[in-house]
Amino acid sequence: MDSPPVSSLLDFSGKIAIVTGAGGGLGQGLARRFAEAGASVVVHYNSSEVDAQNVTRQIRELGGNAIAVQGDLTQDKDAARLMQRAIEQFERLDVLINNAGAYPMHSVLDMTPSDWDHVVDANLRSVFLCTQAAAKVMKEQGCGAIINITSIESKNPAPNHSHYNAAKGAVSMFTRASAFELAPHGIRVNAVAPGLIWREGLERDWPDGVQRWQKTAPLKRLGLPEDVADACLFLASPGARWITGASLLVDGGVMTHQIF
């Protein structure tokens, strides 16, 4: 197999990417960055319609191509419909970024079964349903890349987040298992595990946490959505053509910190 020229590795012109949960801060950054690389983007949202439409408008104003699609991705019909809208609009699907999720806090002692189900469904069930629906499309094409956004919490537990920790840990293993099964169809599946990502108002809402992070992380800053997006661009690109089933930490080096 001939290697593609280096100059073309991050050129997504003519490619179609779906970003789930693209109404939120990280998802918005993912959608904008893939559009900047030349991809046509399906901006998925569940409840954040205004934000998703704003991202879609921004992409179009910069000369890109994007549509916004609503759906509850814990429901198989909505996951399938999301893929179908991409095909109807753009006639193919090259990249799926499973970014949608939920991030509430509950202690193990106080968590209700419905609290648990909500977080596991939002962060794990949605990944399964979207991966399955996208893989059926990509199998017919003979190629595709799926990237799951996990978290450093898939490897390092955080207080009051046992449901989220468990769901993201499961997504990490699902990434490896689906990568193994889908490789014969030309579909690569990888994960990106971000650390603390900046959002508007974070320093105000959690000043002590931000300070602890900046003190602990070797690179001494919070992550930006673009930091995660660039890792996703790499894993979706021909530059990662021999990489599948991997999980890439994007955390400013915080997981190198000696805990004991």
Q: Which residues are catalytic?
A: 164
Q: Is the dihedral of CA 32, 46, 178, 144 positive or negative?
A: negative
Instruction: Find tokens 């991050």 and name the residue.
Output: 10
Strand partners, 69: 44
d(CA 259, CA 106): 24
Give per-residue burial for 182-192: e unless 16+ CB within 10 Å, then b: beeeebbbbbb
